Structure 1
Amino acid sequence: MKKVAFITGASKGIGLEIARIHAAHGDDLILTARSLHDLQEIKTHFECEYPVKVTIIAKDLSMAGSAEEVFDEIKQQHIDVDYLVNNAGFGDYGYFADTNWDRYSAMINLNISSLTELCHLFISDWQGRKAGKILNVASTAAFQPGPKMAVYFATKAYVLSFSQAIGQEVKKDGITITAFCPGPTNTNFMDDSQMIVSRMVAGHKLPAPKEVARCAYKAMISGKSVAIHGTKNRIMANLNRFVPRSWATKITDKLL
């Protein structure tokens, strides 16, 4: 029987490439993003290229109540989801006080609230199935405080901690939760967040989203609790465990 993957933030970058991998494996798709036009183009392309059905739902998951609205629409269409990929998210580069609060509020709603609610809705729905896989896209930002991207780093620390905690809880139910932690990647995120000007990114060759997505998909399918893309990123994330947080904060400040 065909499996179904529900992917948020699926219109570009890592989310789009994860969707492409699922389609190549014959999984039907439910894709969510803000742009209906982009989703329609992806649906047309994927259904021509792969033997899959693509359901699209245009929704801004940073808005209150949007996660439940998407879940209800999926249930109304009588679609059973096997894979939940919480990929949607955004960041912002600059001093905390210089950014409008509305942007931070939307970031927290998207990166934390909607992700958490979707996990709750689907895990509750999966009770008794002894199956189901969730991929929560965190970041290497999850491993230390991030001056000049304080709220973004903090939201990703939440995603990592939350994913590990509920992953332990649902083992008995046959459900796996994977927190995936990519480093800077060559996607629109760099421009949207203005992180492109930081020392961490400027002048560096960044991995392509296709490469990062393959790592994410493999980690989810194998049921890994935490996966970090790239040898350098894995080393840095693990080094942070042995460095005082005050040092890690200063180092990140200089890199950003």
Structure 2
Amino acid sequence: MNNNYALITGASQGLGKYLALDLAQRNYHILLVALPNENLETLALEIKKLHVKVEFFETDLTKKENILALVDWANSFSVEVLINNAGCGGSKYINEASFDYMDTIIQLNVRATSLITKLLIPNLTKQPKSYILNISSMAAFSPIGFKTVYPASKKFIEYFSQGLQEELKSQNVTVSVVYPGPMKTNAEVSNRIEKQSKFVNSGVVALKDVAKISLDGLFQGKNRIIPGKLNKFSRYILAILPLKTKVKLLSKAVKKEIDATK
């Protein structure tokens, strides 16, 4: 039995839940983090059936004081794996996006990811070998109109992760960034995905499979992980398309999705 812990933010549902379950099956003790009233206790009981220890911390990571409280709690455990999964996004006309909507994306995707990582590094580097997995998105590979802040925040995660890879490689810390495609994480997101094109829907990979591919890649020392053959192909296409062309194509698809809900 591994005596160290894996900490997963955004662990109550979607990819975070499956990452937690997968890590428990790999004999890690688990630290679950999510918003209050997200049924973390129920998930903790499910994970305990896999014969590992489980603790959970309910908080809103868009607030600085909550990040500090979380890290203070987490540092009472030996953390070997940190997974920054908490994040949010959406599709809106910029003129219709509220201040709070945009600010929440920035605070959660950018600030929480960077500060939690920075404050847990001393704990991680105490272990003989440790791992950081940051969740980006296929959206990081192009700017997208009608999403604006979200792709930029996921590009930040990519660059942040790549910088960490270089800085921490001599300290036995593996840093990986994963770029999932569309994922049916909850009813609202599933509904949005299903209204998009057949091509988009064909790129959906089951959450359990995304979790396994991500963790296999992390423990194999892969720095960049793209789950799903179609998503890998899409990444190749996006790399060769002129910037103006891919922005136009992707933005048109998102606009169609927004207009379909009106």
Answer whether TM exceeds 0.5 for this pair: yes
Structure-2 change in CA distance of 1:24 and 1:129 (3 Å): closer
Shift of 1:36: 4.0
TM-score normalised by the chain length of structure 1: 0.92
**Number of residue-to-residue matches in the alignment:** 252
- The farther-off stretch of 169-178 and 118-127 is 118-127
Compared with structure 1, are the counterparts of its residues 98 and 201 closer, same or farther at alpha carbon in structure 2 (3 Å cutoff)?
A: farther
The alignment status of 1:50 with 2:50, answered yes or no, reads yes
Correspondence for 2:259: none
AA matched with 1:97:
N
Residues in 2 aligned to 1:2 and 1:25: alpha-carbon distance in whole angstroms: 12
Question: d(CA) in 2 for partners of 1:231 and 1:203?
Answer: 13
Matched AA of 1:151: V
Answer whether contact 1:90 1:193 (CA < 8 A) is retained: no
Residue identity in the other structure for 1:218: D
Cα deviation digits, residues 118-155 of structure 1 (max 9, x gap): 11112233346452100000000010001111111110
Give distance in 2, aligned partners of 1:94 and 1:194. Answer: 15
* Residues in 1 aligned to 2:191 and 2:159: alpha-carbon distance in whole angstroms: 26
Deviation larger for 236-245 or 208-217: 236-245
Q: 1:200 to 1:216 in 2, by over 3 A?
A: farther
Structure 1, unaligned runs of 5 or more = none
Give me the identity figure in percent.
28
The offset of 1:73, in angstroms, is 1.3
Q: Aligned partners of 2:93, 2:81: CA distance in 1, in Å?
A: 37
1:136 alignment counterpart: 134
Paired residues of 1:92 and 1:195 also in contact (CA < 8 A): no
Name which of 108, 111, 115 aligns with 1:110.
108
| Structure-2 residue corresponding to 1:89 | 87
Aligned AA (2:24): A
Structure 2 residue ranges without an equivalent (≥5): 255-262
How far 1:219 moved relative to its partner? 1.2
Does residue 71 of structure 1 match 2:68? no
Distance in 1 (alpha carbons) for counterparts of 2:159 and 2:87: 17
Match of 2:16 in 1: 15
Residue 103 of structure 1 aligns to a residue in which SS? helix
- Give CA-to-partner distance per residue, 1:53-85, whole Å, 9 cap, x none: 11000011122232221010122xx31100000
Give distance in 2, aligned partners of 1:203 and 1:80. Answer: 40
Range moving further from structure 2, 2-11 or 239-248 = 239-248
- Aligned-residue RMSD, C-alpha: 2.0
Alignment check: 8 A CA contact 1:6 1:84 kept: yes
1:150 aligns with 2:148: yes
Instruction: Determine the structure 2 residue equivalent to 1:255.
Output: 253
State the Cα distance separating 1:2 from its structure 2 match.
Answer: 2.0
Q: Are residues 136 and 32 of structure 1, via their aligned partners in 2, closer, same or farther at CA, if it must alter by over 3 Å?
A: same
Ranges of 4+ aligned residues in structure 1 off by more than 4 Å: 200-203
Letter in 2 for 1:162: F
* Partner Cα separation in structure 2 for residue 37 and residue 129 of structure 1: 31
Distance 2:117 2:141 in 1: 22
Q: Contact 1:138/1:156 (CA < 8 Å) preserved in 2?
A: yes
CA distance in 2 between partners of 1:180 and 1:219 (Å) = 9
Q: Quote how far apart the aligned CAs of 1:96 are.
A: 1.4
